[in-house]
Structure 1
Amino acid sequence: MRSTTHEQNKAAVLEAFDLLFNKRDYTAAERFWSDSYIQHSAHIPAGRAGLFDLVRLLPQTLVYENNLIMAEGDFVIAHGRFSGHGRPAAWIAADIIRLENGKLAEHWDVLQDEATQAGSASGLPMFGDRFPS
């Protein structure tokens, strides 16, 4: 069965995130980010170099886990968790990525500290089916 464009875009984003954030394979990750990558995040410097340089500064214990990924046209939204970055709480992120010619071309994000069970007004976890330990 042949993958659809949406499936290819989702797979590209997941592989790109794994290579950069989990494996720290910058050379392989470059294949997935456009040379003219546009960064809209308030937490990340401009361009592909800005993102890669930031990741180089983060602890080697950084981990990205994906919980949900959706695609529409050239856009992908990934709901995930960034942990091991040295802050008290993991970040739950909604990353919005625009792809162009199969590469990550533009990025926006919404970040929030992951709530504990005691800190959750709804009583539900923000990521998956369990609260962080």
Structure 2
Amino acid sequence: MVPQLKKHNIDIAFLWSTWDETYCYTFFEALEAGCYVLTNSHSGNIAASVKKYNCGLVFSSLSECKRYLSDYSTTKMDVIKYKDKFTNVNIYQNNDISDFIFSNGNKDYFSELLYKPKKNLIFTLIYRLLRVNY
């Protein structure tokens, strides 16, 4: 999507998610393409990322965003200021899976958990007592 945003000279990305996003590929595509991002305070990680990267505005309501966009000169100046200070951002795929591997010394945590269930002595005793009576 990044090449398309650049090819068509898209200046503003309107990412108006109405629920708390945990991660949004579209945001990072817009960031890499140099788009000024407009979002709302309910968009979760989109709003947090806009603030973190200082790459747009977060609005508390749609009407507030509409008022901002209706003031063409202010909107244009904000986009120009952003474009002037924008430095290329290179987003890349993280192929590292080390965060998903848990270990307990030399033993794999999941194999220990999944393949070596620990017996509960009390439940084992109750089970055996009940089986004898049938």
- Which structure's residues are more often helix, by fraction? 2
Q: Which has the higher strand share?
A: 1
* Pair member with larger Rg: 2
Q: TM-score, normalised by structure 2?
A: 0.25
Point out which structure has higher relative CO (alpha carbons under 8 A, 6+ apart): 1
